Structure 1
Amino acid sequence: MKHSYTIENLNCAHCAGKIEQKIANTEGFENVSYNFATKQLNFRSEKKNPVAEIQSICDSIEDGTHVVDNAAKVKKSDDEEKKFGLDKIFLIISIVLGLISIVLEYTVADTTTWGKYVLFVLCLAATVLAGYEVFIEGFKNIIKLRIDETTLMSVAVIAAFCLGQFVEAAMVAILFSLGEFIEDKAVNTSRRDIEKLAKIRPDTAIILSNGNERTVAAEDVQIGTTVVVKPYERIPLDGVVLSGKTTVDTSALTGESLPVEVEEGSEVMSGSINGNGLIHIKTTKVFGDSTATRILNLVEDAAAQKGKNEKLISRFASVYTPIVIAIAALIAIVPPLLGLGAFSEWLYRALVCLVASCPCAIVISVPLSYYSGIGAASKVGVLVKGGKYLEALAEADAFVFDKTGTLTSGKLRVDKVNATSNYSEDEVLAYAAACEKYSTHPIAIAIKNKAKNLNIPELSDYEENAGHGTAAKLNGKTLECGGTKILSDSQKAKFGKNASVFVVYDGEVIGTISVSDTVRQESKNVISSLKALGVKNTVMLTGDSSANAEKVSKELGLDNYKAELMPDDKLTNIQQIKRNSKSVCFVGDGINDAPVLSASDCGIAMGLGSEAAIEASDAVLSAGNLTQLTSAVKIARKTMSTIHINITFALLVKAAVIILAAFGFAAMWMSVVADTGVCVLCVLYAARLLK
């Protein structure tokens, strides 16, 4: 069973990683993934109600967390709201006391005895009010023999008091608490922006039963139910319009800004916003299979596929803290032993190093950047299934395309039927339509549409061979319809260049059919935009004829093309392109493309139609066209750039403060800025991706 929980009050990304790892290492839990950006914990387990076990694991690492089943609606209690308000009041009072302490230190504290006592009391009060929660958490962590930022901060403040640095101890506690408050606000704001993505799916639907309207839960609506959608409301479930005429805004699903006109018989997707017309729709999918739900599931499941940088940061955090502690210990112990100063002086410097070294800025901002990038892509109609695919998209220097339905519209039409034997053109077309009776290939559909008014013979023993064509029995003899693969060498020499479809009866070519396709309106612009972005290789792989492939390739300005390919030939070509490229993206729409979508570094499916293609792909262009492909590349590159900038910025600031501290030029307040201040900046910089 798949389980989904929300872990409330977990604002430490480093602790979140530890919780995820511990659950993953616990017997009975599989495919464990925690998304810090959305607070969602997902895993598979045979255990029916593991919430108590999950809560126990969370409590062993981070006190105060609350594990909630996502099926339950949770609202903050009055006690929590009061506590939040009380914390703000305490922080404000501590800031006022801190400022008074600074004034006292530079006026009467050094000249009078009572001034020193008053200064001590004010600083102690400010420190306790600002950091009592930090000290409690730090004390618990010391008992558990665990070192994190609360432990380091508690030790630093206590040591500062012991060294007589009362004002500095108070300011460190105040700055840290203020930084934590701003950091929480920044993270929560980012989380709320991400949660807005889920607003595309209505929870209720108005159904029409015996002429009466009734509001019910959307998940309870069955297929075939009549649903009323009022003006300016979201469509709750996929369906077909029974009555009414309106326009629908599909931008939240497909990224298309222009409204789409719908009328009786039109298909509509859940999550679309109805225009100014009242419509009745007949549902065609249940809540769990509707478009909006599928999109949300794709975005939410993206957290499980972590990028290389995210995995690297998780490993980095586990070794970084012990190394920094060792450096701080050397700074505190070695110089005094060498007679380079008092122990208290070097201990202070070591404490500054420890506080500055906390890796929270990186640990929080990296996963937040990935999820913000995925969220930004979904806003323009591109669903990326994880951080590692966002990386592949950002690094891609080769884009490989299927032809029919991807670079071209896929709406084929029969241009010409040519009889090459004693059969008439109508008979050739009727035989071809009969042979293609059960095929869903675009060429087969075009042939059947053309032959609608003809007398179609009944055949037996139907077969379809991907990449070749279809075959059946007519009067005990084999009738074949397909490309050049069904022809003998002599037949290829005679007929191969004249058409794209051939009809062979009892080994004889009885006719040829010319089928044409139109290039998508956006294809040329997309190819040129990709090249402008630095993509070095644009390739088309198709099972179509060389003549048609060459025509499309020249029109679009592709770098290369391969025609008359079987599905396994496409796979071979993709693997060859991968050997000569940094990262390869394949864009396709059909079931035949599923193996190639899986084999590429980032397989991109066109539209939400083919289940097999979506399952095998790593990203989906939900609008069913190429328009947003370049936007997806730009977002992916911006995401990776944000991650690299945040990592570099955080490490440089921390390294600078640590070096300055080692030489005695950094005060404790600078280390707090290097910790919480840098974290806030990194979080805000990552969150802007959603804008």
Structure 2
Amino acid sequence: MAEQLIELNVTGMHCNNCALSIHKLLEKKGLNNILVDFAGEEVKFSNTTDTALADIVKGIEQLGFKVVDDAALYAPKFYERVETKFLFCALFTAPLLLHMVASWHVVHNPVVQLLLCLPVFAVGCLHFGKSAFYSVKGGTPNMDVLIFIGSTSAFIYSLAGTIQNLGSQYLFYETCATIITLVLLGNVFEKRSVNQTTSAIKDLVKIQQVTANRMIDGAVEVIRANDVHAGDTLLVNHGDKVPVDGDILEGNAALDESMLTGESMPVEKAKYDKVIGGTIVQRGNFRMMATKVGSNTVLAQIIELMKKAQAAKPPVQKLGDKVASIFVPVVILIALVTFVATYFLSDSGLQRSLMNAIAVLVISCPCAMGLATPTAVMVGLGRAAKNGILIKGGDTIEAVANTKYVVFDKTGTLTTGKFSINDIKVEGDAHIELIRGVITAIEERSNHPIARSLVDGLKDLAKTKLILRSAKEEKGLGMRAEDVDGNNYFLGTGKNVNSDNFNLSLYKNQVLLAQIAMDDTIKPEAAALIAQLKAMGITPVLLSGDRNSRCLNVAKTIGIAEIHSEKLPDEKLRIIDIYKQKGKTIMIGDGINDAPALTKADVGVSMNDASQIAIQSARVILLNTDLGSIVKFLQISKHTLLTIKQNLFWAFAYNVVAIPVAALGFLNPMVGAFTMAFSDVIVIGNSIRLKSKRLK
């Protein structure tokens, strides 16, 4: 059977344990490439088996989840909402709790208590029981198993006492009802808190959901941004969001690009400039041609990268996942041991033994461990995105911990990448007009900062342009090209080729035509960045293909002591490998020649205006070209990892302390249920704190 790639929207997942149960179900059905993102409510897998999609959907829904067409548009029915279930149960639980303090005869009647508890128990069976049954059947028992066993034990014990008229000491209807109601209350807070942790992606998705003004034969029709096709002409006015990526055909405007770059200052745009979907027109209006639509837009790619990043587990999460996967059977075993030990080894009797066992069941909380890492990662990634830092994987956050070296490329990274042409020295009898035309024609085919600067500097001076048959970039050297007459050209640099003043050479059929002198300017914030890195105990390193004299000049100006100049891509690779052996190494670059080194480093960081290959090779993309983003990235990563460790400590410590305390009889089941319900909220709350936490 041919491989089918399937993507489902699944609602009802509220922690990593939910995702784990779906993952194991799909594994048992023989599916491959499984990705379950509980925060993004997405399940992806490839199917090469004969299993029908309907059977897969049925299996997922039997676990207690809901497969929908569009999670963003899905609105559960009133009676399906967890808030409704909680309010309904609270209505019946309140009188049951009142009987413990009030002297009303009616609420002390066992039959009245049974009638008050029965609706709550029914909701509990439907809400927790179905999920518990199918999770056990699927071999992945979840937290609902503990809640269901605990509440059912209390109900059956009380029901037996009522039928046999054994007296008030056998009635624990309020325990059954309170366990269910308090856990539902915890689910309400948990649901709202998780929504806050995923707000970054949801905000970006909302940006996509705009309308567009499409121009057809002079008339304007309003359509959804999803219905725009490449090549459509769109009218964008003051206050509008740019619907898709494209090029301005007519008009000018100031655009707010802060949602992409974190840069608060508006960016001026004019004819032929590129605009990005989701950015806001603060002033002016223009006509544009759509060039990238749907999943090809920058915004759509960022959303997809963030979804994948949230699903990538840091190594620190693996311990939590392992414990969570065996947690429920272990807790049930502890509860059974508690019951047997209390009943046979002490004079507590059946009632006390049962209450201690139920307390063990309802106070334990595997969800806290399942939520500890992903919620912190989601908030950290979201905060980074709002600062113009796109992190491709949650595991990247841990990968930068204890960074020892940050290796910089020079051109376009520490320098502006905007070069000025100081001089062109013509060799032999070649004409300057011809030289300008050859340079422009060749460098138009490159995305390197030097190439772009050459084209910008010569486009108004090059009167005649060479017609090329082919052109290709050679990593670390320059461009090779062939014209329609079969002449071969090389424009670039190499070791011991250029003098200190002239750093580029142009050859035609291996004969030198001209030499070009270019200067680059250092970014104003570069020196401050290097000082900050040193203060953080990180050693900055300069690694460049440029000439030694220029590298020394830049390094001396901004304070870098370790320099490696005139290095080709394979040499850069070896140097990165040497630094990796000495300590955790980050590489920051922007050119094609940096791509191998970006991949080799522990974490590769690429500038947004870099070549596409560099962006694909890097694990972090700085959408804002301000170098201060590097320190912000390191700070966010550090505090996200700290938050993960705090969450895991709480989750483990809570269970290690709470379960023995409950087993020894120091906690009644209602207090246990209350504590368990809010342990998740504490973990999520600590993660949400990262949104506004002051970073040091």
Query: What TM-score do the two structures reach when normalised by structure 1?
Result: 0.86
Residue pair 2:365, 2:679 contacting (<8 A) in 1 also: no
Structure 1 residue 483 corresponds to structure 2 residue 493: yes
Tell me what 1:178 maps to: 185
- Separation of aligned partners in 1, 2:251 and 2:51: 46
Tell me what 1:490 maps to: none
Q: Secondary structure at 2:101's aligned position in 1?
A: helix
Residue pair 1:95, 1:126 contacting (<8 A) in 2 also: yes
The equivalences for 1:17-32 within 5 A come to 17-27=20-30, 29-32=31-34
Deviation at 1:241, TM superposition (A): 2.2
Structure 1 residue 284 corresponds to structure 2 residue 285: no
> Cα 1:293–1:82, aligned 2, differ >3 Å: closer, same or farther?
closer
Residue pair 1:473, 1:479 contacting (<8 A) in 2 also: yes
The amino acid of 2:96's aligned partner reads G
- Separation of aligned partners in 2, 1:637 and 1:179: 29
> Cα 1:247–1:572, aligned 2, differ >3 Å: closer, same or farther?
same
Q: Secondary structure at 2:99's aligned position in 1?
A: helix
The amino acid of 1:69's aligned partner reads D
Tell me what 1:515 maps to: 518
Deviation at 1:519, TM superposition (A): 1.2
- Separation of aligned partners in 2, 1:497 and 1:599: 31
Residue pair 1:416, 1:515 contacting (<8 A) in 2 also: yes
> Cα 1:47–1:137, aligned 2, differ >3 Å: closer, same or farther?
same
Deviation at 1:310, TM superposition (A): 3.1
1:23-69 Cα distance to aligned partner (Å, 9 max, x none): 24533x43221111121222344699964233122134x23x22123
Deviation at 1:304, TM superposition (A): 3.6
- Separation of aligned partners in 1, 2:52 and 2:603: 35
Structure 1 residue 118 corresponds to structure 2 residue 108: yes
Cα RMSD for the two superposed structures? 3.5
- Separation of aligned partners in 2, 1:591 and 1:22: 43
> Cα 1:18–1:155, aligned 2, differ >3 Å: closer, same or farther?
closer
- Separation of aligned partners in 2, 1:462 and 1:587: 27
- Separation of aligned partners in 2, 1:606 and 1:315: 37
The amino acid of 1:517's aligned partner reads D
The equivalences for 1:129-278 within 5 A come to 129-140=119-130, 141=132, 144=136, 147-160=141-154, 162=157, 164=170, 166=172, 167-191=174-198, 194-278=201-285
The equivalences for 1:32-43 within 5 A come to 32-43=34-45
- Separation of aligned partners in 1, 2:330 and 2:630: 43
The amino acid of 1:55's aligned partner reads V
Residue pair 1:428, 1:510 contacting (<8 A) in 2 also: no
1:329-366 Cα distance to aligned partner (Å, 9 max, x none): 33333465445754653443233222222211221342
1:397-437 Cα distance to aligned partner (Å, 9 max, x none): 32222211111111122223457x76689599669838955
- Separation of aligned partners in 2, 1:558 and 1:343: 74
Tell me what 1:680 maps to: 681
> Cα 1:366–1:446, aligned 2, differ >3 Å: closer, same or farther?
closer
The amino acid of 1:124's aligned partner reads L
Q: Secondary structure at 2:44's aligned position in 1?
A: strand
Q: Secondary structure at 1:628's aligned position in 2?
A: helix
- Separation of aligned partners in 1, 2:198 and 2:231: 37
Tell me what 1:637 maps to: 638
- Separation of aligned partners in 2, 1:179 and 1:473: 69
Q: How many residues align?
A: 668
- Separation of aligned partners in 1, 2:666 and 2:356: 9
Tell me what 2:100 maps to: 102
> Cα 1:638–1:121, aligned 2, differ >3 Å: closer, same or farther?
farther
- Separation of aligned partners in 2, 1:22 and 1:82: 24
Tell me what 1:87 maps to: 85
- Separation of aligned partners in 2, 1:422 and 1:152: 88
- Separation of aligned partners in 2, 1:271 and 1:576: 42
Structure 1 residue 650 corresponds to structure 2 residue 657: no
- Separation of aligned partners in 1, 2:478 and 2:15: 58
Tell me what 1:570 maps to: 572
Structure 1 residue 7 corresponds to structure 2 residue 10: yes
The amino acid of 2:439's aligned partner reads A
> Cα 1:558–1:251, aligned 2, differ >3 Å: closer, same or farther?
same
Deviates more, 1:176-185 or 1:502-511: 502-511
- Separation of aligned partners in 2, 1:339 and 1:158: 24
Residue pair 1:156, 1:351 contacting (<8 A) in 2 also: yes
1:247-270 Cα distance to aligned partner (Å, 9 max, x none): 111111111111112233332111
> Cα 1:387–1:86, aligned 2, differ >3 Å: closer, same or farther?
closer
Tell me what 2:303 maps to: 296
Deviation at 1:210, TM superposition (A): 1.0
- Separation of aligned partners in 2, 1:23 and 1:82: 25
The amino acid of 1:156's aligned partner reads G
1:591-614 Cα distance to aligned partner (Å, 9 max, x none): 222222222222222116633222
Deviation at 1:317, TM superposition (A): 0.8
The amino acid of 1:628's aligned partner reads S
Deviation at 1:652, TM superposition (A): 1.8
Structure 1 residue 76 corresponds to structure 2 residue 75: yes
- Separation of aligned partners in 1, 2:205 and 2:81: 29
Q: Which runs of 5+ in 1 are unaligned?
A: 109-113, 488-494
The equivalences for 1:55-66 within 5 A come to 55-60=57-62, 62-63=63-64, 65-66=65-66
Q: Which runs of 5+ in 2 are unaligned?
A: 158-168
Q: Secondary structure at 2:249's aligned position in 1?
A: strand
Residue pair 1:360, 1:675 contacting (<8 A) in 2 also: no
- Separation of aligned partners in 2, 1:56 and 1:92: 31
- Separation of aligned partners in 2, 1:150 and 1:649: 21
Deviation at 1:80, TM superposition (A): 3.2
Tell me what 1:67 maps to: 67
Residue pair 2:405, 2:586 contacting (<8 A) in 1 also: yes
- Separation of aligned partners in 1, 2:462 and 2:480: 22
- Separation of aligned partners in 2, 1:462 and 1:666: 76
Tell me what 2:669 maps to: 668
Deviation at 1:272, TM superposition (A): 0.3
Structure 1 residue 406 corresponds to structure 2 residue 413: yes
> Cα 1:281–1:618, aligned 2, differ >3 Å: closer, same or farther?
same
1:123-160 Cα distance to aligned partner (Å, 9 max, x none): 43454344433234554435855643333223323444
1:145-197 Cα distance to aligned partner (Å, 9 max, x none): 56433332233234445372524444333323322333233334544564123
- Separation of aligned partners in 1, 2:318 and 2:249: 50
- Separation of aligned partners in 2, 1:602 and 1:629: 12
Deviates more, 1:398-407 or 1:469-478: 469-478
Residue pair 1:247, 1:259 contacting (<8 A) in 2 also: yes
The amino acid of 1:215's aligned partner reads V
Q: Secondary structure at 2:43's aligned position in 1?
A: strand
> Cα 1:459–1:89, aligned 2, differ >3 Å: closer, same or farther?
closer
Q: Secondary structure at 1:277's aligned position in 2?
A: strand
Residue pair 2:199, 2:382 contacting (<8 A) in 1 also: no
Q: Secondary structure at 1:232's aligned position in 2?
A: coil
Residue pair 2:478, 2:492 contacting (<8 A) in 1 also: yes
> Cα 1:422–1:12, aligned 2, differ >3 Å: closer, same or farther?
closer
Tell me what 1:468 maps to: 477
- Separation of aligned partners in 2, 1:461 and 1:501: 20
- Separation of aligned partners in 1, 2:457 and 2:127: 75
Residue pair 1:333, 1:343 contacting (<8 A) in 2 also: no
Report % sequence identity.
Answer: 27
- Separation of aligned partners in 1, 2:178 and 2:454: 80
Tell me what 1:596 maps to: 597
Tell me what 1:319 maps to: 326
Tell me what 2:166 maps to: none
Residue pair 1:501, 1:512 contacting (<8 A) in 2 also: yes
1:515-534 Cα distance to aligned partner (Å, 9 max, x none): 211112332333333334x2
- Separation of aligned partners in 2, 1:15 and 1:42: 15
